[in-house]
């Protein structure tokens, strides 16, 4: 190979896109923010920081019940919140940035022994062995810092649920168990009823889903058809990077 050919080959190799690996830094990067510092009016019910989730225990990496996001996503949520206030509604977030170590803990949980009580609540119609990879994946967009799980609440409505006790797909009536608007299922329901456009969802629940979806899409988020609560910022700044810093108490 000639010298010029060798240089040309090096240049070509440098142009090949290589996905960035998980970053295991223990400190939050400077362009990540606490959501409450951007808009303290958004309610937070960070489920993985406590036992009220499908694993039944606090999840590794969630050292504080705080929503952390890249600033662009947090600012977009602030704009969504402002639009919803005119309708007497607000946002309640369940999960935001998710450390890689938390995703790994979910995978370990999925491979472990079943818990009949948790199954009856979070995946009543699906065997635990079937949760991977459709419901629990080895990588999550949440670890990129621009994905959020959330719902709608009437303005001023406080969180009323302390621990899930009924099946996530059970009829909700006038409100969900945590006081949020009825959406047909609760958050983290491993069931086809959580899909956008799923059968068995009432007209009112479908309307609530569409209100949430329209508000999020209006400010640059993309929906996710298997989960009505899941949205990702369309122009996320780290589309190929998965972070692993823990969610620490806000200073």
Concatenating the DSSP letter of every residue in 32-69 gives EEEHHHH-TTSEE--GGGSS-STTSSPPTTB-SS--EE
Whether 26 is in a domain gets the answer: no
Query: For 112-151, what is each residue's pLDDT tens digit?
Result: 999 999 999 999 999 999 999 989 999 999 999 999 999 9
Whether 107 is in a domain gets the answer: yes
Confidence band of 161 (pLDDT split at 50, 70, 90): low
Work out how many domains the chain is built from and give that number: 1
Whether 3 is in a domain gets the answer: no
Q: Which residues are catalytic?
A: 227
CATH number at residue 227: 3.30.1380.10
Q: Is the peptide bond before 125 cis (omega within 30 degrees of 0)?
A: no
The whole-number pLDDT of residue 15 equals 36
Whether 150 is in a domain gets the answer: yes
Judged against a pLDDT cut of 60, whether residue 234 lies above it is answered with: yes
What tokens were used for 187?
């958050």
Whether 2 is in a domain gets the answer: no
Whether 128 is in a domain gets the answer: yes
Q: Which domain holds residue 55?
A: 33-233
Query: For 70-109, what is each residue's pLDDT tens digit?
Result: 999 999 999 999 999 999 999 999 999 999 999 999 999 9
Whether 63 is in a domain gets the answer: yes
Residue position matching structure tokens 């629990």: 136
Least confident of 156-165, 205-214, 241-250: 156-165
Confidence band of 18 (pLDDT split at 50, 70, 90): very low
Query: For 176-188, what is each residue's pLDDT tens digit?
Result: 999 999 999 999 9
Whether 178 is in a domain gets the answer: yes
């Amino acid at each position: 190979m000639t010298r010029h050919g060798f240089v040309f080959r090096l240049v070509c190799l440098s142009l090949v896109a290589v996905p960035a690996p998980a970053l295991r830094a223990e400190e939050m990067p400077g362009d990540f923010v606490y959501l409450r510092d951007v808009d303290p009016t958004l309610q937070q019910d960070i489920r993985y920081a406590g036992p009220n989730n499908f694993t039944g225990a606090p999840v590794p990496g969630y050292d504080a019940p705080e929503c952390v996001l890249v600033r662009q996503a947090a600012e977009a949520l602030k704009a969504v919140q402002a639009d919803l206030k005119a309708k007497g509604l607000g946002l309640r977030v369940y999960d935001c940035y998710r450390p890689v170590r938390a995703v790994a803990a979910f995978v370990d949980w999925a491979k472990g022994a079943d818990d009949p009580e948790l199954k009856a609540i979070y995946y009543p119609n699906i065997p635990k062995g079937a949760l991977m990879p459709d419901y629990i994946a080895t990588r999550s967009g949440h670890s990129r810092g621009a994905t959020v799980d959330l719902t709608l609440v009437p303005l001023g409505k406080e969180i009323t649920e302390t621990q899930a006790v009924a099946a996530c797909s059970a009829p909700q009536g006038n409100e969900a168990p945590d006081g949020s608007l009825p959406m047909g299922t609760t958050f983290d329901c491993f069931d086809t009823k959580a899909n956008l456009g799923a059968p068995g969802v009432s007209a009112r629940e479908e309307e609530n889903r569409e209100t949430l979806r329209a508000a999020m899409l209006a400010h640059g988020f993309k929906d996710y058809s298997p989960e009505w609560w899941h949205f990702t910022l369309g122009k996320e700044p780290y589309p190929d990077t998965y972070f692993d810093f823990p969610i620490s108490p806000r200073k």
